[in-house]
């Protein structure tokens, strides 16, 4: 399966898992938009969701509406538990994530990791836009894995071997809608207080959690325990 193309993986996933298949898209990177476009051509009924942490950029919310209009697709917006967020903010403060790695990971866990895990409980497989050259933490990304932390769901990363140049080529060829901040120096867009523009030639994800060391720059969604899925 590691030799399969993105199109082959997506067509196989629809045959095997529909209707319990979904796309996990951040709307802050073009890869997720490419997957929405590709799967819309294969099966327009494939579901897609986004995590609304409550701290996203206005441009990200705008893109969600543009995708709905372009594809006639209902984007499922997943929210964190309100009481957990209120308790965290009451105890730690609004911008506590700048103060320590522990606080930042707590914020990501409450606003992103736990809501995603709850949402995925209704599926058998999900698709992500992870690529190996996005950062060092993703260099060994397999195209098909088992997400042990999410109860054994199949996790599909069909763009794992794509280069950044190939991503841009697909976006341009198919006129895929992307976050307007990509044109303003934001190659990767997360929560507003945790993302800033980067300089020409800088690592594309260097604007994410810029106050941290490179080896800690993950929110926790894609560093959970996984197993090889090649035998599925």
Q: What is the CATH number of the domain that holds 208?
A: 3.40.50.620
If you count them, how many residues does the chain have? Answer: 232
* Position 1 in a domain: no
Token pair belonging to 19: 């209707």
State pLDDT tens for residues 105-137.
999 999 999 999 999 999 999 999 999 987 777
Residue holding tokens 């701290």? 55
* Position 231 in a domain: no
pTM: 0.90
State mean pLDDT over 71-80. 97
Neighbours of 214 (CB within 10 A): 12
* Position 129 in a domain: yes
Tell me the residue range of the domain where 113 lies: 6-225
* Position 154 in a domain: yes
* Position 48 in a domain: yes
| C-alpha–C-alpha distance, residues 12 and 23, integer Å | 14
Of 40-49, 211-220, 221-230, least confident by mean pLDDT is 221-230
The SS3 of residue 126 is strand
* Catalytic pick among 107, 191, 194, 219: 219
* Position 197 in a domain: yes
Per-residue DSSP letters for 9-43? HHHHHHHHHTTSEEEE--SSSHHHHHHHHHHHHH-
Does residue 191 have an active-site annotation?
A: no
């Amino acid at each position: 399966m590691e030799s399969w193309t993105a199109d082959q993986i997506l067509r196989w996933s629809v045959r095997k898992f529909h209707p319990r298949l979904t796309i996990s898209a951040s709307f802050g990177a073009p890869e997720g938009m490419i997957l929405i476009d590709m799967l819309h051509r294969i099966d327009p009924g494939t579901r897609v969701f986004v995590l609304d942490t409550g701290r996203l950029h206005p441009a990200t919310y705008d893109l969600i509406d543009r995708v709905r209009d372009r594809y006639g697709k209902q984007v499922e917006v997943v929210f964190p538990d309100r009481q957990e967020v209120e308790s965290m903010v009451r105890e730690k403060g609004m911008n506590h994530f700048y103060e320590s790695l522990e606080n930042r990971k707590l914020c990501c866990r409450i606003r992103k990791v736990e809501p995603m895990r709850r949402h995925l409980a209704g599926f058998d497989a999900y698709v992500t836009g992870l690529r190996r050259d996005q950062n060092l933490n993703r260099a060994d990304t397999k195209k098909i894995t088992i997400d042990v932390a999410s109860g054994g769901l199949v996790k599909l990363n069909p763009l794992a071997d794509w280069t950044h140049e190939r991503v841009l080529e697909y976006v341009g060829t198919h006129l895929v809608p992307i976050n307007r901040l990509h044109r303003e120096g934001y190659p990767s867009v997360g929560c507003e207080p945790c993302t800033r523009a980067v300089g020409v030639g800088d690592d594309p994800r260097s604007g994410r959690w810029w106050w941290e060391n490179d080896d800690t720059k993950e929110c926790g969604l894609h560093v959970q325990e996984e197993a090889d899925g090649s035998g599925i």
